[in-house]
Amino acid sequence: MSGNPAMSAPVIETLFQRFLAEMLEDRIAVGALLVFAALVAVAVMAPFITPQNPYDLAQVDILDARLPPGTKASEGFTLVLGSDGTGRDLYSAILYGLRISLSVGALSGVIAMVVGASIGLVAAYVGGWVEATIMRIVDLQLSLPAVLVALILVAVLGKGVDKIILALVIVQWAYYARTVRASALVERRKEYVDAAVCLDLSQSRILFRHILPNCLAPLIVVGTVQTAHAIALEATLSFLGVGLPQTEPSLGVLIANGFQYMLSGRYWISFFPGIALLLTIVSINLVGDRLRDVLNPRLKR
Amino acid sequence: MTPTLDIAGLSTHFFTRDGIAKAVDGVSFSIAPGEVLGLVGESGSGKSVTGFSILGLVDPPGRVVAGAIRFKGEDLVGADAQRLRSLRGNRIAMVFQDPMMTLNPVLRIGEQMTEAISAHSKATKSEAQARARDALGAVGIASPEERLTAYPHHLSGGMRQRVAIAIALINAPDLLIADEPTTALDVTIQGQILSVVQRLVARSHTALLWITHDLSVVAGLADRIAVMYAGRIVEQGAVDGLLTCPRHPYTAGLLASLPERAVHGGRLASIPGMAPSLLNRPQGCAFRSRCGLARPECGNAMIAEKQVGDRRFACLHPLADSAGQVM
Amino acid sequence: MEATPLLAAERIDKRFERRLDFAGRLAVKLGAAPGNETVHALDGVSLAVRRGEVLGVVGESGCGKSTLGRILAGIMPASSGRILWQGADRDRLTGTERRTVKLAVQMVFQDPASSLNPRMRVADIIGEAPLVHGQVTRAELGDYIDTILRDVGLDPAMKQRYPHQFSGGQRQRIGIARALAVEPQCIIADEAVAALDVSIRAQIINLFDELRQKRDLTYLFISHDLGIVRFIADRVVVMYLGRVVESAPTSALFAAPNHPYTVALLAGAPRLEDRKRAFAAIEGEIPSPLNPPRGCHFHPRCPHVMARCREEAPRLSEIAPGRLSACHLNQA
Ligand SMILES: Nc1ncnc2c1ncn2[C@@H]1O[C@H](COP(=O)(O)OP(=O)(O)OP(=O)(O)O)[C@@H](O)[C@H]1O
Ligand SMILES: Nc1ncnc2c1ncn2[C@@H]1O[C@H](COP(=O)(O)OP(=O)(O)O)[C@@H](O)[C@H]1O
Ligand code: SF4
Ligand code: SF4
Ligand SMILES: [Mg+2]
Ligand SMILES: [Mg+2]
């Protein structure tokens, strides 16, 4: 960055630096980001920081079942958050559950984003009946309650991680398609697209190299919020017993398992996984809110 | 006679994350009743902020940090919000580049006009109606009776601007601040608006501050011109003298770079470089890096304004006056 | 016999139709709204740009200047009519010939903020097209970009920056550099200096002039600013509501405008020489292009209007060598 003396210093900062600075201005968002980062970190490191692998039957003792927080397990370690109905250490189970919840949410989010963004982009650029058809499907999809659609889909598709992800993608692509189409329609009218047409660049180049990168900001915002949605939705399905199987116990499955003990006073079996789920969803949403404030109106200067 | 508006040493700064933007920094001028002052300058030079400061409409992070704004002798800088509100739209009116800044999109034109009338005087409904109709006719709107029931979006841009002007002038204000009201309009429509404003202002003896970046517009409209650069007024004086014999090198450069005065096929004289950022304005004369007459002492301290006759300019090495006299 | 023009438009029409969505169609069925709306943005426009000249196009906003420019630049198709490049119908060309002709006409846009892709570095903005079209190799690209940047008065050291790091005037230079990078013969400048400050505007106008001499360029210079057109253009075309109403050599047009609209336009423009002038403005609003007046489009505002003007659209015809005007007064 050398050269023009007339250029004043503050202008030189990159868009990213400005973005970062504005992002960090909001204490709540920073807090949420830290919480979320911590959740991801413990989920990734779960095997190294938990006293037991809750799904290795050899490590779990049925005699430890339903012990309250703070009790010592037969293996000798303390059950910080108590144990569940099968004697698993709840702390370990939550971290492993978080792994599954987060990966299901992230994976379905990414796939839905790629699929939805491509469809939305094509709709905006091609126009005509293609756009009309796509957008009618999107409207239809968005007018139905997500839980209901997801319920029907898993009922048809059956259980399993891949099926849940497929169901979540089908439920969510429409949000991304709508977002991308809206911003692509705005971008399309800008003069830089005319310039690209005048320079005889190919349609796909204009679409993916020029228009798409300029639609990323709202896409990221929707992406965060939708990922939180996906996690919540998966938990809901699992809680209802139609989501993930017992062999892939996400937070939702854990909550469901403990629910039957709720009335008998053994609140912790459902309560702690519930707290973990709540922290995850709220922290992602808070970060998403701040992203929306920072990315949407201003970076377009 | 006390001037309608007398501004002395006005400074309005914006306290942004990147630093303090001195959008207006020591501006002084005054306007007598019935006088038209053209405030001219390039984008970002602080013209609009000057206008907003007079109206007490500077929003945070901006603040008037120094100076006095005397409206008919009363200082508005310390005045409370209540007092300012009662002056705005009544004794002090404004028109903006975008007429929708003053028009309410969901109210009929007639309602907005009668509201403006009854907010500041005790007129009966039919009196207010009649005054509104007359005001529309005065700004050259055909069939004003029908237009009273129209919504702003029914009107063309030029008509909307004329309605905004009609509302601004409806209480015969003492001062009208017009911020580039014709910039977005076409030549023939601009002509209509200029003629309307000229006529109405002369009739009601209103002092007019006309903000624009276009010297040609104020040449035919104003009595005096003030040229703004990087938050300061670098030169002001009567139109004729200022345009024919500028003393400040920036004014001279601006005039020379207008294609109107250039010979076809020749080169335009242009001012090299660009305006400095207001965040870290250089010490001394802000025009220094672009000025052909700059000498080392131009960078030393803030350049004080000099007065020669009715002309004021802030320059250490001004151009010769019409008699060839440098000082 | 005149030489074949470099670029010509022949009876170009452009209609924008606002297709109604379902709700709109329902509203029409129920009688709550008028049917499909058609903007007749260009109505039988013909003009010729001669090699090496600067042809100015003036007119008020919405009269179709940008639409004409975009059609000539190949950004959008015309509804009917032909575009001729050196006498050949441009739509009939194929393959490399089509591409060569398309690249030969480039456009410079009005808005320095939206005409550059904010996510691309200057080097990519300028270098993308010549690289994609194989006009330069990747190895030559760096030097090629540096040369062009120097030509438009920018420091090549800045080429890794993003557009938002430049001022309006500098961005306009980048836009010009992008157009020059594909070695065009004709540049269409659509209000290319309208968004710039006076002192910066002069720099860019001078740049246009320099480049013309250096690179043998032909310009179509679209502007609503008569002062600029008078300074830069050799010939001027005046448009009103989608039609050409007058065309003439610049000096002749400004000395003695023929069409009543041109007269009004010249009279209405504020001038530096004015002192406390009594602005006497032409009456009436600019009609909506959605439903332009019958006959001569200017008749509702024309001080010389006759019965014939309300019925019959005047033809654009020669009133003197090299001068065309579309007004019934000339046939009286
Ligand atoms: N809310 C704000 N926050 C920070 N800086 C501001 C704000 N409003 C204005 N400024 C700065 O104040 C300076 C003067 O702005 P102003 O709007 O008065 O310019 P102007 O002369 O009216 O320009 P234009 O011709 O573009 O209307 C500019 O540098 C601008 O960036
Ligand atoms: N993409 C479009 N869709 C619909 N109408 C358009 C479009 N582009 C231009 N128009 C209309 O065509 C007319 C001419 O526009 P334009 O060529 O941009 O005018 P100018 O450049 O002279 O201001 C205007 O009425 C405008 O609203
Ligand atoms: S004070 Fe010096 S630098 Fe500033 S305008 Fe005058 S001569 Fe030029
Ligand atoms: S044709 Fe008639 S209405 Fe049109 S410009 Fe000529 S005199 Fe006026
Ligand atoms: Mg302003
Ligand atoms: Mg245009």
- Of the candidates B178, B197, B166, the residue with the CA atom closest to the CA atom of residue B95: B178
Report helix, strand and coil shares of chain C as percent, to nearest 5.
35, 20, 40
Mean pLDDT across the stretch C182-210? 92
Question: Among the three residues C164, C198, C233, which one is the final residue of a domain in this structure?
Answer: C233
Contact C227 B274 (CB under 8 A): no
Closest residue, chain A, to C106 (C-alpha): A198
Mean pLDDT across the stretch B188-205? 84
Q: In what order do the strands lie in the sheet with C186-190?
A: C105-108, C186-190, C218-222, C54-58, C235-240, C243-249, C323-325, C317-320
Q: Is the pLDDT of residue C34 over 70?
A: no
Mean pLDDT across the stretch B304-312? 90
Quickly state the pLDDT bin for A11 (edges 50, 70, 90): very low
Q: Is the pLDDT of residue B50 over 90?
A: yes
Q: Which ligand is nearest to the CA of C60?
A: 2
- In the reported structure, the alpha carbon of residue C64 is separated from the centroid of ligand 2 by a whole-number distance in angstroms of 6
Q: Is the pLDDT of residue B114 over 50?
A: yes
- Selecting from C73, C99, C118 the residue whose C-beta is nearest the C-beta of A198 gives C73
Query: C195 to each of A297, B43, C4, how far by Cα in Å?
Result: 22, 10, 34
Considering the domain architecture, whether residues C56 and C186 belong to the same structural domain is answered as yes
The CATH number of B5-91+171-313, from 3.30.360.10, 2.60.120.10, 3.40.50.300, 1.10.1060.10, is 3.40.50.300
Top pLDDT among B132 and B157 is at B132
Q: Output the DSSP codes for C199-253.
A: HHHHHHHHHHHHHHHHHT-EEEEE-S-HHHHHHH-SEEEEEETTEEEEEEEHHHH
CA torsion C143→C149→C153→C154, rounded to 10°? -100
Number of the ligand 3 atom closest to the C-alpha atom of B249: 5
Q: Is C260 in the pocket of ligand 4 (CB under 6 A)?
A: yes
User: What's the rounded Cα separation, in Å, for the pair A210 and A207?
Assistant: 6
Give me the phi and psi of C15, to 5 degrees please: -115, 135
Query: A6 to each of B277, C155, C158, how far by Cα in Å?
Result: 9, 12, 12
Side-chain-facing half-sphere of B153: CA atoms under 13 Å: 3
User: What's the rounded Cα separation, in Å, for the pair A284 and C269?
Assistant: 58
Render pLDDT for B243-255 as a digit per residue (tens, 0 to 9).
999 999 999 999 9
Question: Among the three residues C214, C233, C252, which one is the final residue of a domain in this structure?
Answer: C233
Domain extents in chain B? 5-91+171-313
Quickly state the pLDDT bin for A57 (edges 50, 70, 90): confident
- Say what the pLDDT of residue C311 is: 93
What size, in residues, is chain B?
A: 327
- Say what the pLDDT of residue A270 is: 83
Longest dimension (CA), chain C: 68
- Of the candidates B298, C196, C164, the residue with the CA atom closest to the CA atom of residue A7: C164
Q: Is the pLDDT of residue B297 over 60?
A: yes
Quickly state the pLDDT bin for A13 (edges 50, 70, 90): low
Burial (CB count within 10 angstroms: exposed 0-12, middle 13-18, buried 19+), residue B97: middle
Does the beta carbon of B158 lie under 8 angstroms from any beta carbon of chain C?
A: yes
- In the reported structure, the alpha carbon of residue C85 is separated from the centroid of ligand 2 by a whole-number distance in angstroms of 24
Mean pLDDT across the stretch B177-193? 84
Domain extents in chain A? 24-299
- Region of poorest pLDDT, from A238-252, B108-122, B300-314: A238-252
Question: Among the three residues C233, C252, C270, which one is the final residue of a domain in this structure?
Answer: C233
How many other C-beta atoms can be found within 10 angstroms of the C-beta atom of residue C95? 7
**Which of B18, B39, B43, B57 to probe ligand 1 with, by most ligand atoms within 8 A of CB?**
B43
Q: Is the pLDDT of residue A7 over 50?
A: no
State the nearest Cα–Cα gap between C204 and chain A, in angstroms.
17
Distance of alpha carbon C307 from the chain centroid: 33
Q: Is the pLDDT of residue B181 over 60?
A: yes
State the nearest Cα–Cα gap between C251 and chain B, in angstroms.
9
Mean pLDDT across the stretch A141-166? 88
Contact residues on chain A for B276, CB-CB shorter than 8 A: 6, 8
Top pLDDT among A170 and A6 is at A170
The CATH number of A24-299, from 3.30.470.10, 2.70.210.12, 3.20.20.70, 1.10.3720.10, is 1.10.3720.10
User: What's the rounded Cα separation, in Å, for the pair B141 and B160?
Assistant: 10
Render pLDDT for B142-155 as a digit per residue (tens, 0 to 9).
788 888 888 888 88
Mean pLDDT across the stretch C225-241? 93
Phi/psi region, residue C216 (left: phi>0; alpha: psi -120 to 50; beta: rest), is left
Task: Note which residues in 181-240 of chain A have CB less than 8 A from chain C.
Answer: 190-192, 194-202, 205, 210, 213-214
Task: Note which residues in 164-183 of chain C have CB less than 8 A from chain B.
Answer: 167-169
User: What's the rounded Cα separation, in Å, for the pair C116 and A300?
Assistant: 12
Number of structural domains in chain C: 2
**Would you say residue C241 lies in a domain?**
no
3-state secondary structure at position C175: helix
- Say what the pLDDT of residue C23 is: 62
Q: Output the DSSP codes for C89-156.
A: EGGG--HHHHHHHHHHEEEE-S-TTTSS-TTS-HHHHHHHHHHHTTSS-HHHHHHHHHHHHHHTT--G
The residue written with tokens 């260009």 in the block is C42
Mean pLDDT across the stretch B255-269? 83
Domain that holds residue C270: 260-332
- Of the candidates B65, B36, B44, B41, the residue with the CA atom closest to the CA atom of residue B53: B65
- Say what the pLDDT of residue B118 is: 86
Contact A195 C111 (CB under 8 A): no
Contact B220 C270 (CB under 8 A): yes
Contact residues on chain C for A15, CB-CB shorter than 8 A: 162, 164
Helix (H) or strand (E) holding B8: strand B5-16
User: What's the rounded Cα separation, in Å, for the pair A97 and C1?
Assistant: 86
Q: Is C67 in the pocket of ligand 2 (CB under 6 A)?
A: yes
Q: How big is the A-B interface in CB pairs under 8 Å?
A: 15
Considering the domain architecture, whether residues C264 and C118 belong to the same structural domain is answered as no
Structure tokens at A88: 């698993």
**Would you say residue C2 lies in a domain?**
no
State the nearest Cα–Cα gap between C270 and chain A, in angstroms.
30
Does the beta carbon of B279 lie under 8 angstroms from any beta carbon of chain A?
A: yes
Q: At what angle do helices A128-143 and A161-188 cross, to 10 degrees?
A: 130
Render pLDDT for C308-329 as a digit per residue (tens, 0 to 9).
999 999 999 999 999 999 999 9
Please enumerate in sequence order all residues whose Cβ is within 8 A of that of A20, keeping only pairs 6 or more positions apart, or say none.
none
User: What's the rounded Cα separation, in Å, for the pair C76 and C64?
Assistant: 13
Contact residues on chain C for A205, CB-CB shorter than 8 A: 132
Top pLDDT among A4 and B86 is at B86
Structure tokens at B324: 């060839």
Render pLDDT for C96-112 as a digit per residue (tens, 0 to 9).
999 999 999 999 998 88
> Which residues are registered as beta bridge partners of B292?
none
Q: Is B62 in the pocket of ligand 1 (CB under 6 A)?
A: yes
- Selecting from C75, C157, C179 the residue whose C-beta is nearest the C-beta of A3 gives C157
- Say what the pLDDT of residue C24 is: 62
Contact residues on chain C for B213, CB-CB shorter than 8 A: 197-198
Asked if C75 and A194 touch (Cβ cutoff 8 Å), the reply is: yes
Q: Is the pLDDT of residue C196 over 80?
A: yes
Render pLDDT for A200-258 as a digit per residue (tens, 0 to 9).
999 999 999 999 999 988 888 899 989 999 999 988 888 888 888 887 888 888 888 88
Q: How big is the B-C interface in CB pairs under 8 Å?
A: 141
- Say what the pLDDT of residue C192 is: 92
Give me the phi and psi of A84, to 5 degrees please: -100, -170
- Region of poorest pLDDT, from A84-93, C75-84, C163-172: A84-93
Q: Is the pLDDT of residue B239 over 80?
A: yes
- In the reported structure, the alpha carbon of residue C231 is separated from the centroid of ligand 2 by a whole-number distance in angstroms of 26
Give the percent of chain B with pLDDT over 90: 43
Top pLDDT among A73 and A222 is at A222
- Region of poorest pLDDT, from A101-115, A248-262, C115-129: A248-262
State the nearest Cα–Cα gap between A31 and chain B, in angstroms.
21
Query: B28 to each of A73, B24, B251, how far by Cα in Å?
Result: 82, 10, 17
Contact residues on chain C for A2, CB-CB shorter than 8 A: 157
> Which residues are registered as beta bridge partners of B42?
none
Strands C218-222 and C54-58: parallel
- Say what the pLDDT of residue C38 is: 82
- Region of poorest pLDDT, from A50-54, B209-213, C312-316: A50-54
Number of the ligand 1 atom closest to the C-alpha atom of B49: 18
Q: Which ligand is nearest to the CA of B44?
A: 1
User: What's the rounded Cα separation, in Å, for the pair C190 and C110?
Assistant: 6
- Selecting from A11, A15, A194 the residue whose C-beta is nearest the C-beta of C70 gives A194
Q: Is B231 in the pocket of ligand 1 (CB under 6 A)?
A: no
Please enumerate in sequence order all residues whose Cβ is within 8 A of that of C268, keeping only pairs 6 or more positions apart, or say none.
B187, B188, B190, B191, C281, C282
Q: Is the pLDDT of residue B260 over 50?
A: yes
Q: Which of C17, C101, C165 to mutate to test the interface with A (most CBs of A within 10 A)?
A: C165
State the nearest Cα–Cα gap between C126 and chain B, in angstroms.
23
- Say what the pLDDT of residue C280 is: 66
Q: Is the pLDDT of residue A61 over 50?
A: yes
Contact residues on chain C for B214, CB-CB shorter than 8 A: 270
Quickly state the pLDDT bin for B274 (edges 50, 70, 90): confident
Does the beta carbon of A56 lie under 8 angstroms from any beta carbon of chain C?
A: no
- Say what the pLDDT of residue C30 is: 64
- Of the candidates B128, B171, B168, the residue with the CA atom closest to the CA atom of residue B148: B128
Number of the ligand 4 atom closest to the C-alpha atom of C330: 6
ipTM score here?
0.90
Render pLDDT for A159-185 as a digit per residue (tens, 0 to 9).
888 899 999 999 999 999 999 999 999
Considering the domain architecture, whether residues C199 and C297 belong to the same structural domain is answered as no
Mean pLDDT across the stretch A40-68? 81
Structure tokens at C104: 């030969």
Closest residue, chain C, to B185 (C-alpha): C61
**Which of C328, C330, C331 to probe ligand 4 with, by most ligand atoms within 8 A of CB?**
C328
Q: Which ligand is nearest to the CA of C243?
A: 2
Top pLDDT among A219 and C280 is at A219
Q: Is the pLDDT of residue B37 over 80?
A: yes
Contact B194 C279 (CB under 8 A): yes
Q: Which ligand is nearest to the CA of C38?
A: 2
Instruction: Find the CATH number of the domain harbouring C32.
Output: 3.40.50.300
Q: Is B96 in the pocket of ligand 1 (CB under 6 A)?
A: no
- Of the candidates C266, C304, C221, C286, the residue with the CA atom closest to the CA atom of residue C257: C266
Q: Is C299 in the pocket of ligand 4 (CB under 6 A)?
A: yes
Number of the ligand 1 atom closest to the C-alpha atom of B228: 21
Number of the ligand 3 atom closest to the C-alpha atom of B298: 2
Q: Is the pLDDT of residue B71 over 90?
A: yes
Quickly state the pLDDT bin for A4 (edges 50, 70, 90): very low
Quickly state the pLDDT bin for B65 (edges 50, 70, 90): very high
Phi/psi region, residue A96 (left: phi>0; alpha: psi -120 to 50; beta: rest), is alpha
Longest dimension (CA), chain A: 76
Structure tokens at A197: 């047409």
Mean pLDDT across the stretch A278-301? 77
Render pLDDT for A256-271 as a digit per residue (tens, 0 to 9).
888 878 777 777 878 8
Q: Is the pLDDT of residue C1 over 60?
A: no
Considering the domain architecture, whether residues C173 and C51 belong to the same structural domain is answered as yes
Q: Is the pLDDT of residue A12 over 60?
A: no
Mean pLDDT for chain B overall: 88
- Say what the pLDDT of residue B184 is: 76
Quickly state the pLDDT bin for C281 (edges 50, 70, 90): low
Q: Is the pLDDT of residue A5 over 50?
A: no
Considering the domain architecture, whether residues C45 and C91 belong to the same structural domain is answered as yes
- Say what the pLDDT of residue A254 is: 84
- In the reported structure, the alpha carbon of residue B25 is separated from the centroid of ligand 1 by a whole-number distance in angstroms of 12
Quickly state the pLDDT bin for B261 (edges 50, 70, 90): confident
Q: Which ligand is nearest to the CA of C41?
A: 2
Mean pLDDT for chain A overall: 84
- Region of poorest pLDDT, from C136-150, C155-169, C173-187: C155-169
Mean pLDDT for chain C overall: 89
Does the beta carbon of A6 lie under 8 angstroms from any beta carbon of chain B?
A: yes
Q: Is the pLDDT of residue A2 over 50?
A: no
Q: Is the pLDDT of residue B24 over 70?
A: yes
Task: Note which residues in 106-145 of chain C have CB less than 8 A from chain B.
Answer: none
